[in-house]
């Protein structure tokens, strides 16, 4: 717009110059000498007018050109301005897009860092909770130990009083024994005189020689002394047994009552419910490919019969049954059942089972307070859950043995932790004995030596099967706890054939003794009642017979728990009043 005004001004100046020149020429013509003629003046005027007209035309042409140039400049300026505006807009859009991308990236980074911070806080929170639980567990263990120590102190005070009472009783018994010895000396003197008179009388009546009389007298005295010693031994043994049984029963019942353990009996089959009966055909597959692949990978037998919506898994190995059960449930839930999918699911379940087994072993050690066991043993301890002994779950049996042995050790003032450790690991060899072959005691010894277990644990592994003598008191408690756990009602079961053979063997051993009329195994083989002939067996002989029968049963039979031997001697005297 400014250029257009400039060109208008230039045109106006040119017009003014032209007019001025015309006027000047006209003046010049007027001041010329009078000798010039009028026609010349007119001619000059016309020339001036023509100059002015040309100047005007040139000015208008200049104005027109200036206007055109101004329009072109304006259009060019507008195009430049539009281009600049467009470039500025594009730059603004680019900057806006870049800013938006950077803002989005910053927001995503912020969200990611926020999520990471939340996860970190959640992990820290879980760790704090675990630490609190561990601290609470340790506090409860400490409280139990304090209570056990208090009970132990009370027990020591009570036993101290009992010892004082027993000392008094011993003093009284010594005095009575001295009186008894004096009485026996008097009786011995009396017997000596009687023996002398009896010898004389025998010689007189029976016409016996001195040697014959001495032999007869010695036989009678020996018989009488033997009977007297049997009576005395029986009384002393009964008193000692009653006292020992009272203390032992008190400790065992206290330990067993404080433990509330579950009894798990494993069988050889597992049933799985199906959503519908059509899944049976999908599990079998075309020409049986699916079921053959499943049985080959898991090592179990799938039983698919007419029972609606049920499939049975059969195997003697609990670990294989569990693997097959988990894999089949996943396949049913997924719905895709074909050989490739079966291989994939079985591999996933195997990996997950190994992790669960290790975790189960670690939780068992933490539960028993055995924090210093080598982590390498966690897998073998957890694997005991999938092993059975006479249908009894080995891991639950080992935990029960550990608890009972630890409780009895606390009652007796021994090392409870060592007892629990030996009780938990006494059957650890059963975790892999079916895979490696050989005795589970030898395999358990090798495992425990590899992971640095102490000597009491090694002694417990061999001693609970009488392969070596007990060298530690805690090991003796482990052997007792093992017998208690195995003999718990319902813990173990045996086949009918083995049960009947055990009863027959028991009765056969009893009937092999002289003087036994009959024998009856009762209480599921935990008690045997012996009927003896009263003419052949006296009261003292019946007492010795019960001990001999019990000893022979221990030598020739293997049985859980204990067998009670009851010898019955009955004498009947019948008379009729007429």
pLDDT digits (tens, 9 = 90+) for 96-114: 888 888 888 888 888 888 8
Q: What is the pLDDT of residue 260?
A: 44
User: Does the structure show a pLDDT above 50 at 256?
Assistant: no
Question: pLDDT confidence of 139, banded at 50, 70, 90?
Answer: confident
Report if residue 161 sits inside a domain.
yes
**Mean pLDDT within 454-463:** 90
Query: Look-up: residue for tokens 């013509």?
Result: 29
Bridge partner list, 530 = 519, 567
**Mean pLDDT within 228-254:** 60
Report if residue 91 sits inside a domain.
yes
Same domain, 248 and 268: no
Question: pLDDT confidence of 263, banded at 50, 70, 90?
Answer: very low
- Tens digits of residue pLDDT in 500-512: 788 888 888 888 8
Higher pLDDT, 432 or 105: 105
User: Does the structure show a pLDDT above 70 at 265?
Assistant: no
Q: What is the pLDDT of residue 33?
A: 45
The CA-based angle 71-74-75, given to 5 degrees, is 85
Report if residue 337 sits inside a domain.
yes
User: Does the structure show a pLDDT above 60 at 166?
Assistant: yes
Q: Which domain, by its residues, includes 547? A: 496-568
Report if residue 218 sits inside a domain.
yes
Report if residue 196 sits inside a domain.
yes
Question: pLDDT confidence of 23, banded at 50, 70, 90?
Answer: low
Lowest mean pLDDT among 188-197, 233-242, 361-370, 506-515: 233-242
Q: How many domains does the chain have?
A: 5
Same domain, 308 and 240: no
Higher pLDDT, 226 or 405: 405
* Last residue of one domain, picked from the residues 242, 258, 274: 258
Round the average pLDDT of the chain to a whole number and report it: 78
Q: Are 321 and 311 in contact (CB under 8 A)?
A: no
**Mean pLDDT within 557-573:** 79
**Mean pLDDT within 122-134:** 84
CA separation for the pair 21, 435 (Å, rounded): 132
Q: What is the pLDDT of residue 69?
A: 83
Question: pLDDT confidence of 492, banded at 50, 70, 90?
Answer: low
Q: Is the dihedral of CA 327, 328, 334, 335 positive or negative?
A: positive
Lowest mean pLDDT among 98-112, 185-199, 243-257, 307-321: 243-257
Q: What is the pLDDT of residue 209?
A: 64
What stretches of 272-415 show up as alpha helix (H) in DSSP?
279-284, 289-298, 318-334, 339-367, 378-383, 394-412
The SS3 call for residue 35 is: coil
- Tens digits of residue pLDDT in 26-63: 554 444 444 444 567 788 778 878 887 888 888 788 88
CA separation for the pair 380, 365 (Å, rounded): 12
Q: What is the pLDDT of residue 555?
A: 84
Same domain, 166 and 229: yes
Same domain, 236 and 312: no
Q: What is the pLDDT of residue 268?
A: 53
CA separation for the pair 472, 455 (Å, rounded): 9
Same domain, 56 and 179: no
Question: pLDDT confidence of 157, banded at 50, 70, 90?
Answer: confident
Name the pTM for this structure.
Answer: 0.45
Please provide the DSSP assignment of 169-225 as one string.
HHHHHHHHHHHHHHHHHHHHHHHHHHHHHHHHHHHHHS---HHHHHHHHHHHHHHHH
Report if residue 351 sits inside a domain.
no
Lowest mean pLDDT among 82-96, 162-176, 477-491: 477-491
Report if residue 25 sits inside a domain.
yes
Same domain, 309 and 427: no
Bridge partner list, 273 = 310
Same domain, 438 and 324: no
* Last residue of one domain, picked from the residues 147, 180, 206: 147
Same domain, 238 and 304: no
Q: What is the CATH classification number for the domain harbouring 538?
A: 3.30.300.20
Lowest mean pLDDT among 255-259, 467-471, 516-520: 255-259
Q: What is the pLDDT of residue 89?
A: 85
Q: Are 395 and 381 in contact (CB under 8 A)?
A: yes
Question: pLDDT confidence of 159, banded at 50, 70, 90?
Answer: confident
Q: What is the CATH classification number for the domain harbouring 416?
A: 1.10.3210.10
**Residues above pLDDT 70, as percent of the chain:** 78
Same domain, 85 and 154: no
Question: pLDDT confidence of 264, banded at 50, 70, 90?
Answer: very low
Q: What is the pLDDT of residue 194?
A: 76
* Last residue of one domain, picked from the residues 275, 310, 344: 344
Same domain, 382 and 488: yes
CA separation for the pair 551, 537 (Å, rounded): 18
Question: pLDDT confidence of 64, banded at 50, 70, 90?
Answer: confident
Same domain, 6 and 134: yes
Closest of 436, 442, 439, 406 to residue 423, by C-alpha: 406
Q: Are 21 and 33 in contact (CB under 8 A)?
A: no
Q: What is the pLDDT of residue 92?
A: 83
Structure tokens belonging to residue 4: 């257009």
Q: What is the CATH classification number for the domain harbouring 265?
A: 3.30.1370.10
Report if residue 357 sits inside a domain.
no
Q: Are 406 and 419 in contact (CB under 8 A)?
A: yes
Question: pLDDT confidence of 4, banded at 50, 70, 90?
Answer: low
CA distances from 115 to 82, 110, 112, 234 (A): 48, 8, 5, 81
Question: pLDDT confidence of 15, banded at 50, 70, 90?
Answer: low
Same domain, 432 and 516: no
């Amino acid at each position: 717009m400014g250029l257009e005004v400039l060109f208008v001004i230039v045109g106006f100046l040119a017009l003014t110059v032209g007019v001025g020149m015309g006027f000047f020429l006209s003046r010049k013509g007027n001041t010329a000498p009078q000798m010039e003629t009028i026609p010349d003046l007119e001619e000059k005027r016309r020339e001036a007018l023509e100059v002015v007209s040309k100047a005007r035309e040139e000015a208008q042409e200049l104005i027109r050109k200036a206007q055109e140039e101004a329009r072109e400049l304006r259009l060019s300026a507008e195009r430049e301005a539009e281009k600049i505006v467009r470039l500025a807009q594009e730059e603004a859009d680019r900057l806006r897009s870049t800013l938006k991308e950077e803002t989005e990236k910053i927001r995503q980074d912020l969200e990611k860092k926020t999520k990471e911070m939340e996860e970190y806080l959640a992990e820290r929170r879980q760790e704090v909770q675990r630490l609190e639980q561990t601290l609470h567990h340790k506090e409860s263990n400490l409280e139990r130990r304090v209570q056990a120590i208090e009970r132990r102190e009370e027990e020591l005070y009570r036993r101290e009083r009992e010892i004082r009472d027993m000392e008094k009783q011993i003093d009284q018994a010594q005095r009575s024994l001295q009186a008894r010895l004096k009485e026996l000396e008097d009786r011995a003197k009396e017997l000596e005189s009687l023996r002398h008179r009896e010898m004389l009388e025998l010689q007189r009546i029976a016409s016996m020689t001195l040697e014959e009389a001495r032999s007869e007298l010695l036989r009678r005295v020996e018989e009488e002394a033997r009977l007297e010693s049997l009576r005395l031994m029986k009384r002393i043994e009964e008193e000692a047994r009653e006292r020992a049984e009272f203390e032992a029963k008190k400790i065992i019942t206290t330990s067993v009552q404080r433990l509330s353990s579950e009894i798990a009996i494993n069988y050889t089959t597992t049933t799985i419910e199906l959503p519908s009966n059509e899944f049976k055909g999908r599990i079998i597959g075309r020409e049986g490919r699916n079921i053959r692949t499943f049985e080959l990978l898991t090592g179990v037998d799938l039983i698919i019969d007419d029972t609606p919506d049920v499939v049975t898994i059969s195997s003697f190995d609990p670990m294989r049954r569990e693997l097959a059960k988990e894999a089949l449930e996943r396949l049913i839930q997924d719905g895709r059942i074909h050989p490739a999918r079966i291989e994939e699911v079985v591999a996933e379940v195997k990996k997950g089972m190994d992790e669960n087994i290790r975790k189960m072993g670690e939780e068992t050690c933490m539960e028993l307070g055995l924090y210093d066991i080598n982590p390498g043993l966690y897998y073998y301890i957890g694997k005991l859950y999938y092993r059975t002994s006479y249908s009894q779950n080995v891991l639950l049996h080992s935990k029960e043995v550990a608890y009972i042995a630890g409780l009895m050790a606390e009652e007796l003032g021994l090392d409870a932790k060592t007892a629990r450790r030996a009780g938990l690991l006494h059957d650890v060899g059963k975790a892999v004995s079916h895979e490696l072959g050989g005795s589970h005691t030898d395999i358990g010894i090798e495992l425990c030596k590899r992971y640095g277990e102490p000597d009491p644990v090694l002694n417990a592994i061999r001693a609970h099967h009488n392969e070596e003598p007990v060298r530690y008191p805690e090991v003796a408690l482990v052997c007792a706890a093992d017998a208690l756990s195995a003999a718990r009602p319902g813990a173990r079961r045996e086949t009918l054939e083995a049960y009947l053979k055990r009863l027959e063997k028991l009765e056969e051993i009893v009937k092999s003794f002289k003087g036994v009329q009959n024998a009856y195994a009762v209480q599921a083989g935990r008690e045997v009642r012996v009927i003896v002939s009263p003419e052949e067996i006296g009261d003292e002989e019946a007492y010795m017979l019960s001990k001999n029968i019990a000893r022979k049963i221990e030598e020739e039979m293997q049985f859980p728990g204990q067998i009670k031997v009851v010898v019955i001697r009955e004498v009947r005297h019948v008379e009729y009043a007429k």
